Amino acid sequence: MVPRLRWRFALGVNHGPLSKPKPTHVAVIGAGMAGLVAADALVRGGAACRVTLIEPSGRAGGVIGTVHHDGWLVERSADCFLAARPEGQALVSRLGLEHDVVGVEPGARRALIWAGGRPRRAPQGFRLMAPSRVAGILGTPVLSPVGRLRLLWERLVPSRRVGSPDDDESLESFAVRRLGREAFERLVQPLASGIWTADPSRLSMAAACPEFLAMEREWGSLWAGERARLRRQPGGADAAGARYGQFVTLASGMESLPRRLAEELRRLGVRFVEGRVTGVGKMPDGRWHLDAACLEGDATTVDAVVVAAPTYVAATVLRGVDPDLAAELAAIEYAGSCIVSLGYARDDVFHPLDAAGMVVPRTAGRRILAASFSSSKFPGRAPEGCVLIRVFVGGALDPGVMRLEDGELVALARRELAELLGARGKPRLVRVERWDHAIPQYHVGHSARVARIDALVDLHPGLALAGAAYRGVGIPQVIASGQAAAKRCLTATRAS
């Protein structure tokens, strides 16, 4: 008996040589894309990990959603993602959805801008705020002759002297300084509002547009920086200067991505719980306690926590752990917007809709931010003989839109499409999506704030944050945030 006992203790076990160590238990708060990806990375992290995913809505995917109705396919929020970044494509491939990927139709790889009382094509070779073709600028009717010459002068504008690498500037300040007021108002502002729905006088260049900031610092001008980019990536820009050829979607709808991922997580043993976490607390042994009525017993005690919820929720959850961290999170503002999807008979819309969509400058005095020509961008979005247009209203500069009734929103959208695109008759499809307090605002100083948040999180091993509020609102960036959060938790639990 003595040799056997010595053998068992030599193995470091008390219940026989075949017993296994207790798996690490991680709670993920929030089942949007960031939370789903964090859970996925945790269970695939190479060590035994038990994951509980907690979501108050009971639905996986967050804002990503797709509606199928009588031959119409309507995206409730994001309708595509940038394939140039690897995270989205890699996840799609691993989930076996690569056969479902479709790109923007070649005939729609351009943007329209409302100018001079009509939709006009964006200048050839102009990408958000970076020009690359002299002929495209000289020939655009979007700008006056003086505005064109001022934009061409950009290559001679001195670079801004910065006090430190973290020195920040608003998008409006940067664009006006480099391109001129007219180019900002007629080109940059409407194109940017179609992406961020933000106030450009507060939108951070360092956080939202670091690529263009780096162009100025490295090459001395946006002209030189964009030309250098095109030399490195031949064919990277299309005829309109935007990278529409690099955006892809799923033929079955964007919701297929989180739905398939959630199915895979359930197969791997991730526990989904519908409920709300009202707070978390640190325990003396380094573990975490969850205040959640939806959990019972030992499920309320975990080894690590990923908070993949909006920062105003994260601030409430973490206030008892670190008031300074909660204050930084709460300081990140959010804006809301509404999407009105309208389906028409093709003959009821005068405009050919031969673009990905149209953006509208704020100086035009209209309430519409942009119109996405969904059935032109991607196949299978509308029945034969019909077109689908998504109208975007609201944003940081028009918060009053959120107070309108659905009927008022539909009337507003129909009126705008009638006047801007010649849409007549009764729509065959009408849907209204409200995203109140849903879009994080990257205000000037955002990157510095995120650095402070990171430093405060570092004081709490086993805690991680993920989501669109930190380092990018696109789907690939959100995926990256979930993966980074999982890595942080796994590293902390292995070190403990």
What are phi and psi for residue 494, nearest 5 degrees? -75, -30
Name the residue ranges covered by the structural domains of the chain: 2-61+255-332+443-495, 80-107+334-440, 126-238
CA–CA separation, 123 vs 245, rounded Å? 17
pLDDT on residue 245:
75
Band the pLDDT of 15: cuts 50, 70, 90: very low
Crossing angle (nearest 10°) for helices 33-43 and 475-495: 40
- 203 contact partners, CB below 8 Å, separation of at least 6: 170, 171, 172, 192, 196, 441, 442, 443, 444
Give me the pLDDT at residue 108, please.
96
Domain 126-238 has CATH 1.10.3110.10: yes
Residue 238 in this model has a pLDDT that exceeds 50: no
pLDDT at position 2: 37
In this model, does residue 213 exceed pLDDT 50? Answer: yes
pLDDT tens profile 246-259: 899 999 999 999 99
Average pLDDT, the chain: 92
pLDDT at 3: 38
Report the DSSP beta bridge partners of residue 307.
29, 465
Q: How many CA atoms lie within 13 A of 315 on its CB side?
A: 14
Q: Is 2.40.30.10 the CATH number for 2-61+255-332+443-495? A: no
Q: 80-107+334-440, what's its fold?
A: Polyamine Oxidase; Chain A, domain 2 (3.90.660)
Are the C-beta atoms of 77 and 433 separated by less than 8 Å? yes
Using 50, 70 and 90 to split pLDDT, how confident is the model at 36?
A: very high
